[in-house]
Each structure stands twice: as C-alpha cells, then as structure tokens.
Structure 1
Amino acid sequence: MSGDDRPPVHTRRQGFDPADELRAAGPLTRITIGSGAGAETTWLATGHAVVRQVLGDHTRFSTRRRFDRNDEIGGKGVFRPRELVGNLMDYDPPEHTRLRRLLAPGFTHRRIRRMAPYIEQIVAERLDAMEREGSPADLIELFADQVPGPVLCELLGVPRDDRAVFLQLCHRHLDASLSARRRAAAGEAFSRYLVTMVARERKEPGEGLIGMVVAEHGDAVTDEELRGVCVQMMLAGDDNISGMIGLGVLALLRDPGQIDALRGDVQSADRAVDELIRYLTVPYAPTPRTAIEDTVVGDQVIRAGETVLCSLPAANRDPALLPDVDRLDVTREPVPHVAFGHGVHHCLGAALARLELRIAYTGLWRRFPGLRLADPAGATEFRLSTPAYGIKSLLVTW
C-alpha cells in the first residue's frame, strides 16, 4: 500500500466498521504513511492473534519512541521531550513498571466503585440539560462531550471551581478546527495549570489520584511525571469516552431490539457495554511498537528497528476472534478483545471507562425510554481528525 492524500490507512473507517482496505490488508503487511520526503514505511498488524503477540511482548517490542539515532532501542535513550514525560505509553519496563505501580492503587475496583455516585450525578445533570433544551437535541454537544471531562477531573483531583476553565483549555488543545498556534497556546496554558496543581498537591495532598500518589510515594515520582500523567489521562480518556457514548447510542438506535439489555440487571448492562466497546473500538492504534531484535510475528520476520502499527478496530473484527464478528450482539459473553490494548500497557483506566459507559447508557434510556433518531434517514458526519473515532453531532428526540 502506498501513501496518498487520504488519512493513513490505519485510521480509515466506514461507519461503524474498519475500512475495506484496512481489513483486506492481511494480518500483517507493509504500508507507507505520508508521501514525498515525509513518507514512512511501517508494518501494519490487523489480525487479532498478531496484534496480541506484538502488544503482549514488551521484551522484543518497545513503545519508546526514538528522537536521536544514538537512542538505544528499548533503552532509556538520550532524549525524551517534555510532552512525553509521564506518558506511560512511551515508557518501557522497568521505567514503565515503576510509574504504573505508583498509579495502580488509584484504579483499584474499590476506588473506581467509589466514583459511581459522582458519575451518576454528572450524567443526571447532563440529562437535565438535554431535557431543558427540548426535543430534538444534539446528544453529542449536550451529553457525550460533557460527561467524561468532569469525571476525569474528579479522578485527578482538579478543584471543582477550576474545572470549567481547565476543560476549556483541554478541549481547545484537542480542537483540530483551530489553528496550530491557538491549539499550542491552549496546550501551554493547560500545562501551566497542571504544574501549579501538582505543586499545590505537593504541599497539601488532596483525595484525587495526584494527591494520593504524592502522599504515598513522595519523591519517588517527579513533578514533570505527574504533570505528564494528567495530560495523558485527559487527552486520551476524554476523547475515547465521548466517542464511545455517541457511537454506542447511534448503534443501539439503529438496532433498537438490543436496547433492552441496558434495562436489565448490572451484569446484562456490563455485557452490553463490553460488546459495544469491541464492536466500535474508537482508538485507532496504540503507540507504534519498535522491534528490539529480529522477531518472527506470524510467519513474517520483523527486523530490529522496524516499527509495527497495531490496528485495534481491525483486530476486534477478525473472524478468528468469534463467530459473526461483524454483528453487534449485546448478549454475547465477553471475548478477549484488544480495545483497551494488551500486555503491560493494557489501559489502566479500563474499569473506570466501563463503569462510566454503563452509567451513561443506562441513565440515558432510563430518562428517555422513547429515545430515537430525530432524522433516521439523515447522513451521519463522523469525526476523523480527533485522537479517537466518533461522530460530530447526533440529533435525537424522545
């Protein structure tokens, strides 16, 4: 496959599905991203078994990006730009092991369950806003885009009085419709706020994740790492959950016979959420993996220094994963999909994401049992320039 003016092949989608050319690529194939002097050749993994092999093998595949030719593959290297300090996806063991171990207590099932009442409050407030707006309403603008940010602020410990400004800066930094200069300015202001917040937590630790890490581990983690952790969680978690809420609602409204699973018990709702996550898979690919040594993947040798992009949506639609893989079936038993990654870099916030989605979906249909598309025949505009897949707007009525 060669480069062209379209989005990179690993980010192409067709509605809910991976693009045909992505799925036709085979379990492991060579692709070229970009064109001209900026073109780069990499391996693209789309098969479920191949993706799990690459993501699960941190001894042979490094997530550490190289910025200098003297940077040792898989080693600590000579350079890591500030924007990647604290980003777990750019750390290999033992650095990754150290930092993740400090953060993991903030994501235990017990701590995540304690967040449920706050998530329910945020969902209820956003549904109140939809109801006040009246029917029809844009579910993305009023609900999907408004739930994940406050939840992440609560997790990290951002003071409630600061959250509106904090989230505005975060969203402007992600807004592809803004100029690069305006996005960069918002990103700098966002980063400055986090520096101030971390310094405040050092002096007087709060009950959020940053305060917990500071209180329990002190000098074992640097201020820059804590700032970077916050950036990574906000930029990844906000867009992923927003995309999943919008796409999940659209998928269910197009197949309303499956909505009953969300009206049942918690186990049925959790099963439905897991199937929606597999079927829709909003992240395109995790950080590219670089082979540390010559490694056989499937029946192909990946040479040391070569990179592999792992397509999560394609892997989760691999016919080898389960029967009738392209059909949404919220009654399925969960399968080992890779929407949250695999191996040591499996998403730290997966349990929080599942809880948040269950509360959002069930709360929505509890409030609006007659929810339906305002324009069933209308075209859906999908968002392709954001870190995670989603839709730009979704007019609903009830």
Structure 2
Amino acid sequence: MRQIPMTRSCPFSPPDGATDEELGKVRLGTGDEIWYVTRHDLVRQMFGDTRFSSEVDGGAQGMPLHQAEPQPGMFIQMDPPRHTRLRRMLTGRFTLQRVNRLRPRIEQIVADQLDHVEKQPRPVDLVEHFALPVPSLVICELLGVPYAERETFQVASARLLDQNVSREEAEEAMGGFGVFLLELIAAKRARPGEGLLDDLLAGTDLTDEEVAGIAVLLLIAGHETTANMLGLGTLLLLQRPGQLALVRDDPEVAKTAVDEMLRYLSVVDSLLMRRASQDLDLGGTTIPEGDFITASLAAANRDPALCENPDDLDVTRPRTHHVAFGFGPHQCLGQNLARMELEIAYPALLRRLPGLRLAVPLEEVPTRDDMLVYGVHRLEVTW
C-alpha cells in the first residue's frame, strides 16, 4: 500500500502521485490506513456530508488518528449542532461587506511593510519581512491581540503544523498557547478593548476556554495560509513573467489571479481528516463506519473536470469552483479576508519593487514539505 503523497518534485504541483487514483487506501507515517480521495466532485461530496464526522484528532507524523471529543471552542473539529452554534457567532464578522471595511487598513499595513522591506540590506527574506508580517498584523488587529505577542502564536502554530513533531511536543505547544490566550482573555475581561475577542467576551455566553479555542483557530488559520500563499505565490509569479506583468499592471486581473493561484497552489492539501459515522457511499465505493478519510485538495484542484488545462496557470481565468478553502459547512470562515489581503499585497509588492527577482537559484528555495501547510520557509529576493 502506498504512503500518503507529501513530497513535490515541482514546488508548484500537487504532491507526487496524488493524482494516481481517484479513491483508494493509503498509509500515513503513523501506520494508520485511511481512504484518500482526489476527484473534485467526490471531494466536494465528502466535505459537504456531515456524516463524514469532523470530530477527529491526529493525522500528523507521530499522531495516530482517533475519534476525539473536541476541545472547547475548536469548532473545526465539531459536528452540528455544536459546530453550528459557534460558527454562527462568527460568520457575520467575515462577510464580504464587513471585510471590505478593512481594506484601507490592510492597504496601509501592506504599504508600511513594504517601506520596511525597502530598508533591509539585500538580499531580503520576503517571508520574514513581508509574507509573514502582513497577515499576522491583520489578524492581530482584527482579533484584538497585541502584535508584540506574535512570536507566541507563530512559534506555536509552526510547531503544531510540523509533521515531524511528537504528540508530546504538539501538546506542549498547544498547552503554552492556551495559557497565553487565557491570560490575554482574563486581561480583556478586566479591561475590555476593541477586537473580535472582546466582542465575543461581551456579547455571547461563551466561556473563556471556548473563546481561547476560537482564538487558536483564527490566529493560526488567519496568518499561516495567507503567509504561505504570499510567499509561494510570489515565487510562482517570478517564474512566470508574463503572468506577473498582468497582476502588476491590471487591477481587475488581481482578483482573478488570486483565485487562480489559490487553485493552482493549494497550500492546504491533505490536512483535513474525516471519519465515517456510518457506512457511506462515495462514488460507488462504500466507506465503512469508523474508517478515516482525507482528500487531496491540490489534486482535486487539478481535476480536468474542474477547468480546461488545469495544469496551466492563467491569471485571467474566470473563477472556478475550486476547493482551496475546503467545501461545505467547514469551508474556510476567513476566505473573504484572505482573498482581500492577497489582492492588495501581490500588486503592491510588484509595483513597489518592479525589478524583484530571486537572489538564489529556484532549486535552492526551501519548500515546506515538512509542514501541514505548504509554502516556502524562506524566499531570498533582491531588486
């Protein structure tokens, strides 16, 4: 039985072998055998059916899969009605209308960070000085978390997403993160401020532990995925000068470009695990009750049934029904915010630094094959 595909011979393609089979069994590094689905319509069917339970823990290296009782606030690992209760409290905060109000502030954050980049000695690591700070600043301001504390959640999230950490190391990282957030929440209870966490504490019946769990999810999801899209997406455009010029010079193309790059790169691939709560049919195959299943979002987004020439990057391609943000009740809550950050950041970066280029050969750019969210560890550039 083959292992779950992880390594990528091309930094911009799905993991090697991910598209070999539409639905079959694979083995995790832990030895767990799980179902693995890659066909676009089957991926949507699986994620859209809550009978494929989200109450699952583990899946990374050294962490065997098992059915789990979710921690307070961890709605990504909850099924309805618990998931519905928490998600409903947050959905209104991330509508397109609400996110649009943040545009001027995001534009200012991007501009300020580019000022910082220009002051650095070259070559500059664009991950450290641009791709990571921009979404971290945005999510900190949105939630009401001091940006000075960013190292706490950046280090914790890196540990939690590292496929090589042990269960003990992951639990230690999560424990420290939880203590930090509970202390922050206690301070907010005593002296309320402005931010989504303050609003949840004042306007809901959530416990401190539930608010802390929500904060863990939003802080990690709010900076990890966008940061990796900024880094890897910039690397991709530097390899496609014609596409880069369209993103840089045409404001309308920036919107379609972001959606196309989300589809094309799929930085979140096989992170999302499910468990069949009963015998379930998926494309004519029975997934027995209790079996675990995951999907390759990267492979599903290269399905020829989704769009023509799916292995080609076309920044003018009309929006597709890709699954880069997942699908169904658990579809990424912050996708409108992520899109806006990317739509602002890519053109601003390319216009401010028109001579932007890699400072090292492409093959020397370290990719995140060891992480559950794909991207680049560093991106050394000059101009």
1:187 Cα offset (Å): 4.3
Aligned to 1:341: 326
C-alpha root-mean-square deviation of aligned residues, in Å?
2.3
Aligned to 1:63: 54
1:321 Cα offset (Å): 1.0
Q: Deviations over 1:263-321 (max 9, x none)?
A: 34543211111101100010122431111221111121111111110111111011111
- SS for the counterpart of 2:293 is strand
Q: Deviations over 1:219-259 (max 9, x none)?
A: 2x221111001111122232211110111001101001012
Verify the 8 A CA contact 1:42 1:308 in the aligned structure 2.
Answer: yes
Aligned to 2:367: 382
1:336 Cα offset (Å): 0.3
Give the counterpart of 1:48 among 27, 40, 44: 40
Q: Does structure 1 residue 195 correspond to structure 2 residue 190?
A: no
Unpaired segments of 5 or more residues in structure 1? 68-76
**For 1:206 and 1:197, how far apart are their aligned partners in 2?**
11
Number of aligned residue pairs: give it: 370
- SS for the counterpart of 1:18 is coil
Moved more, 264-273 or 89-98: 264-273
**For 1:23 and 1:199, how far apart are their aligned partners in 2?**
48
1:338 Cα offset (Å): 0.3
Aligned to 1:70: none
1:396 Cα offset (Å): 1.6
Give the counterpart of 2:152 among 169, 190, 212: 169
Verify the 8 A CA contact 2:271 2:372 in the aligned structure 1.
Answer: no
Verify the 8 A CA contact 2:263 2:301 in the aligned structure 1.
Answer: yes
Give aligned-pair identity as a percent: 43
- SS for the counterpart of 1:13 is coil
Normalising by structure 2, we get a TM-score of 0.89
- SS for the counterpart of 1:141 is helix
Alignment of 1:211-360 (within 5 A): 211-217=198-204, 219=205, 221-360=206-345
- SS for the counterpart of 2:34 is strand
Q: Does structure 1 residue 104 correspond to structure 2 residue 91?
A: yes
**For 1:46 and 1:16, how far apart are their aligned partners in 2?**
17
Unpaired segments of 5 or more residues in structure 2? 59-66
1:40 Cα offset (Å): 0.9
Give the counterpart letter for 1:350 in structure 2: Q
**For 1:175 and 1:65, how far apart are their aligned partners in 2?**
20
Verify the 8 A CA contact 2:225 2:267 in the aligned structure 1.
Answer: yes
Verify the 8 A CA contact 2:247 2:315 in the aligned structure 1.
Answer: no
**For 1:206 and 1:298, how far apart are their aligned partners in 2?**
50
Moved more, 257-266 or 225-234: 257-266
Aligned to 1:20: 16
Verify the 8 A CA contact 1:90 1:287 in the aligned structure 2.
Answer: no
**For 1:362 and 1:174, how far apart are their aligned partners in 2?**
28
Give the counterpart letter for 1:97 in structure 2: T
Aligned to 2:120: 133
Give the counterpart letter for 2:380 in structure 1: L
- SS for the counterpart of 1:192 is helix
Moved more, 332-341 or 144-153: 144-153
- SS for the counterpart of 1:125 is helix
Q: Deviations over 1:189-236 (max 9, x none)?
A: 43222112223334554331112223332x2x2211110011111222
**For 1:277 and 1:190, how far apart are their aligned partners in 2?**
29
**For 1:351 and 1:391, how far apart are their aligned partners in 2?**
23
- Distance change (3 Å), C-alpha of 1:91 and 1:179: closer
